[in-house]
Amino acid sequence: MTDAATATLTLLVERMMPHPPEKVWRALTQGPLLEEWLMRNDFQPEVGHRFNFRSNPVPHWNGVVDCEVLVVEPNKRLSYRWNASGEEAATGIKTIVTWTLTPANGGTHVRMEQSGFRPEDTANYQGANYGWQKYFAGLERVAARPE
């Protein structure tokens, strides 16, 4: 989605999962489980808790995401800042990731919204060569799959 007024972008990914919200919540909030599907972390489900997601560094990305827990509503909603870290903190992305779990058809509707992508966050990066591809090169086997 594009919001022309502010020129920020919000990314939305949602999916039905045949598991109860309580179980999905555990996977989202217990560090070792979170690591299994997302990244290494020192997450704690406490509002105000600052933590990092860590991946292997690659050129133009130190592999670290600076985070802060904003919302914890057990089994329903989880939100944290998802910001660039280190030398890239000043000019990098400043986004907010929000998870919303809704019971549906015996399972859970899982919705992930990442908001606040601004053009200027990234345009100041490492010159013309900077792009998401490089950012994502660090995030393991992410392919530039077509939408």
Partner 1 sequence: MHSEPDAVLKTLADPTRRAIFERLARGGEQTVRVLTGHSGVSQPAVSKHLAVLRLAGLVRDRREGRQTHYSAEPQGLAPLMDWIGLYGAFWRDRFDRLETLLNRMDQ
| Residues in contact with partner 1 by the rule CB under 8 A | 2, 4-5, 7, 9, 11, 13, 15, 17, 19-20, 23-24, 26-27, 33, 36-38, 110, 112, 114, 117, 119-120, 122-124, 128-133, 136, 139, 141-147
| 59 neighbors 68 (Cβ within 8 angstroms) | no
Nearer to partner 1, 69 or 135 (CB): 135
Nearer to partner 1, 87 or 147 (CB): 147
Nearer to partner 1, 18 or 48 (CB): 18
Distance CA 114, CA 12 (A): 7
Min dist CB 37 to partner 1, Å, is 4
The number of residues making up the chain comes to: 147
Min dist CB 71 to partner 1, Å, is 18
Min dist CB 144 to partner 1, Å, is 6
b (16+ CB within 10 A) / e for 38-76: ebbbebeeeeeeebebbbeeeebbbbbbbbebbebeebe
| 29 neighbors 43 (Cβ within 8 angstroms) | yes
